[in-house]
Amino acid sequence: MTFVDDMQWRGLIQDSTDPDELRKHLDGASITFYVGFDPTAASLHVGNLMQVVTARRLQQAGHKPLLLVGGATGQIGDPSGRSSERTLNTQDVTAGWVQRIREQLTPFMSFDGDTAATMVNNLDWTGELSVIDFLRDVGKHFPVNKMIARDVVRNRLETGISFTEFSYQLLQANDFYELHRRHGCSLQFGGSDQWGNITAGVDFVRRRGAGPVQAFTTPLVLKADGTKFGKTAGGATWLDPAMTSPYAFYQFWINSDDRDVTQYLRFFSFKSREELEELEKATADRPQARQAQRELAYEMTALVHGTAEADQAVAASQALFGRGSLAELSASTLQAALSEAGMTTVSALPTAAALLQETGLAKSGGDARRTISEGGAYLNNERITDPEAVVDAAALLHGRYLVLRKGKRTFAGVELASSTAV
């Protein structure tokens, strides 16, 4: 199976400018390609991983990546998928986000050898353009009737679209031309929502007398219920560990719907086709074992945060339900896990029954005592036997935390506010 065959089997190619030429590009000699990331937040999120892992696949197949972080386009804002004008960030904020995203992208790529990746910033060539040069050299090649015909623009005409966002297509198209001129870039890819911008770039390169160049898009990832991939009740799932903890990141993947997980594995995993087909069969035969979810969650957490954090996330998932040692969890992993479950802060340690009630694991004092008497309450995975016994400070994990559990599956965290973590 060729590289393109594998990409198609995984469902990673939705649209392409010329399927035959794309196959020659990707299955042939090494070429230079680019993919862009606009700094619209302080971190990339899991939705960006489709482009990140696809770029990694192309590099592993022998092609040279240009990773564009848009210091110029990030100041303008792409109208795609938006119903109103975005709030523009200051140049300093955008520049700071550019640097953070460049640092986030670095671990995914190799910057050595014949296929070494290169970081590029479109502010380097866009920032030096005068308005006159931009209008003459770029704007002249874009018929307004074609720009208005784009779905994203046509939809916004009813609510209003500024010239700023309307011109975004020209800036991205000029990026392709400049990367072709400066680096010999002959391929661009991006998400399916970028198809109009991408094809405008292909056409612009041709109109400038360069090329030919090719392009393809990856599919939009939606969950089985129709909601947007990467969004949770708490918001986006970020790659920055300070914004989404590695434990919460692991839980995002482990909670994948059975209807979604096999497709996620094809999109995001670097396992072979044979390995993935075995996992798909295991999921179909024994979905309750959630083997596919566990393997996906571990692989993606290790890819983004490293194997040590992935191991800690697995250990936490087991220990919180009594299948491992809580004492072996780092303070940061334990705190993140308990915050996900729900953390109750206390100023002093009360009785076990009172803790069950305060954390919401019991509806009342009577309910708490009944749960304990029936043997269904646990403190740090040890069964509670005396509902009136005051919790000993020696039980605090890292001098600060307690794990309460009711039955096999329901747990909550307790933090002693007056204590200092070890």
Kindly state whether residues 402 and 256 are assigned to the same domain.
Answer: no
Q: Verify that 191 and 295 share a domain, yes or no.
A: no
b/e map 342-375, b = 16+ CB within 10 Å: eebebeebebbbbbbbbbebbeeeeebbebbeee
Residues 261 and 371 in one domain: no
Identify whether residues 402 and 371 lie together within a single domain. Answer: yes
CA distance 16 to 416: 57
Specify the CATH number for the domain of residue 124. Answer: 3.40.50.620
* The predicted structure's pLDDT at residue 222: 86
**Does residue 49 sit in the same domain as residue 101?**
yes
**How many whole angstroms separate alpha carbon 42 and alpha carbon 238?**
9
* pTM for this predicted structure: 0.91
Residues 293, 410: one domain? no
Cα→Cα distances 282→191, 269, 291, 298, 331, Å? 30, 16, 7, 17, 35
Co-location of 296 and 351 in the same domain: no
Under the banding of pLDDT at 50, 70 and 90, the label for residue 149 is: confident
177-196 pLDDT tens trace: 999 999 999 999 999 989 99
**306 and 209 together in one domain:** no
Residue 28: Cβ-neighbour burial (10 angstroms; 0-12, 13-18, 19+): exposed
Q: What is residue 420's predicted lDDT score, i.e. its pLDDT?
A: 46
Q: What is the predicted pLDDT for the residue at 422? A: 42
What's 369's domain CATH number? 3.10.290.10
Mean pLDDT, rounded, for 66-73: 96
Give the DSSP H/E element, type plus range, for residue 191: strand 187-191
Asked if residue 165 and residue 18 are part of one domain, the reply reads: yes
Beta pairing class for 343-346 and 382-383: unpaired
Retrieve residue 124's tokens.
Answer: 């380097």
Instruction: List the CATH number of the domain containing 234.
Output: 1.10.240.10
User: Range of 245's domain?
Assistant: 221-319
- Residue 283 in contact with residue 265, Cβ under 8 Å? no
Q: Which of 280, 298, 319 marks a domain boundary?
A: 319
Note the pLDDT tens digit of each residue in 338-389.
Answer: 998 889 999 999 999 999 999 999 999 999 999 999 999 999 999 999 999 9
Report pLDDT digits (tens) over 219-244: 999 888 888 787 666 688 999 999 99
* pLDDT-wise least confident of 78-82, 165-169, 206-210, 402-406: 78-82
Question: What is the structure's pLDDT at 223?
Answer: 86
Residue 234 has a pLDDT of 65
C-alpha dihedral sign at 8, 46, 103, 189: positive
Do 72 and 141 fall within a single domain?
A: yes
Assess contact for 173 and 190: CB atoms under 8 A.
no
Q: Which residues contact 397 (CB under 8 A, 6 or more apart)?
A: 326, 327, 329, 334, 380, 403
DSSP string of 327-384? GGS-HHHHHHHHHHH-EEEESS--BHHHHHHHTTSSSSHHHHHHHHHTT-EEETTEE-
Res. 39 pLDDT band, cuts 50 70 90: very high
Q: Which of 319, 345, 366 is the last residue of a domain?
A: 319
Q: Enter the DSSP assignment of 64.
A: E
**Are 163 and 238 members of one domain?**
no
Least confident of 2-16, 41-55, 234-248, 298-312: 234-248
**In whole angstroms, what is the distance from residue 321 CA to residue 365 CA?**
24
CB within 8 Å of 202: residues ≥ 6 apart: 17, 176, 188, 211, 213, 214, 215
- Tell me the three state secondary structure of residue 152: helix
Yes or no: say if 149 and 61 are a contact pair by the CB < 8 Å rule: no
pLDDT of residue 47: 93
Same domain membership, residue 347 and residue 283? no
Looking at 319, 334, 369, which one is the last position of a domain? 319
266-286 pLDDT, tens digit each: 999 999 999 999 999 999 999
Query: How many domains in the chain?
Result: 3
